[in-house]
Structure 1
């Protein structure tokens, strides 16, 4: 049964469910902008950007930002990073050859990590908003680590 043939009572249920959708509120200080061109491997069966690829775009933007501050996911100013959570709010489609501008924002820093927010646009049209929670991690002990001193110094320069 498609949406055009649904009885009114089913439409009311669908509309009611819309209020429970994820809303990503972009917060923090803008720390980086990445520009990424979509390729055929980013497309799904509907011939538009696959939903899973949005997190991959966020990761690429994160890697570019980390590289710009002489860091990586395995050594972010003295500790590795792992993702603790993620949220994606889809706003519009992306297609092969589109150029996505991704603004990266840093916020909610704490003793064990921080949040990154990603605002993704194509030709100034919002495509997606993403939030990822990152924790400092020690792969030798396999445990969450405290924020390293080098990270504290980097963050102090931002505020």
Structure 2
């Protein structure tokens, strides 16, 4: 017999649940992406791997809007260090999703790119995500400080040690 999961049941007290606190005033860019038929899993909703690909596309569009030159920002590369995603509602084929994107928690080497994904048709919150990043010099294969020009594009972002 296959294991089953009921999303309405509370999580086990042993299992820690991810919580993302994303400040609304840090979202400074938005873009729409449509869920394709090929993004759907066997349960007939948006697959996890497809959501991650859509988040990556939204991140690329955001970085391009704020000065990315392909895979470079002010001469430095950007690498993703982690990704945390909270799924709230299902999305289905042909749903138009709104990806709001921003940044927070800057440090010497990078920060977090944040995402709020909604379905404008009914206002449903589909997911929230936070992607850590650092700047990287591919020639020396070392993490490098955040370029001043990049930080200057986001004067309202908080800095952490």
Output the TM-score relative to the length of structure 2. Answer: 0.83
Q: CA deviation at 1:150?
A: 2.0
Structure 1, gaps ≥5 residues long: 5-10
Q: CA deviation at 1:72?
A: 4.4
Structure 2 counterpart of 1:90: 87
Judge conservation of contact 1:74–1:80 (CA < 8 Å) in 2.
Answer: yes
**Counterpart mapping for 1:12-91 below 5 A:** 15-17=12-14, 20-27=16-23, 29-72=26-69, 74-91=71-88
Judge conservation of contact 1:78–1:150 (CA < 8 Å) in 2.
Answer: no
**Cα gap change, 1:73/1:86 in structure 2, threshold over 3 Å: closer, same or farther?**
farther
Q: State the alpha-carbon separation in 2 of the partners of residues 119 and 64 from structure 1.
A: 15
Q: State the alpha-carbon separation in 1 of the partners of residues 140 and 109 from structure 2.
A: 15
Pick the aligned partner of 2:105 from 105, 108, 113: 108
| Bigger share in helix | 1
Structure 2, gaps ≥5 residues long: none
Count of aligned positions? 150
Q: CA deviation at 1:69?
A: 1.9
Q: State the alpha-carbon separation in 2 of the partners of residues 90 and 104 from structure 1.
A: 16
What do you get for the CA RMSD once the two structures are aligned?
2.3
Q: State the alpha-carbon separation in 2 of the partners of residues 3 and 148 from structure 1.
A: 48
Q: State the alpha-carbon separation in 1 of the partners of residues 19 and 58 from structure 2.
A: 21
Structure 2 counterpart of 1:7: none
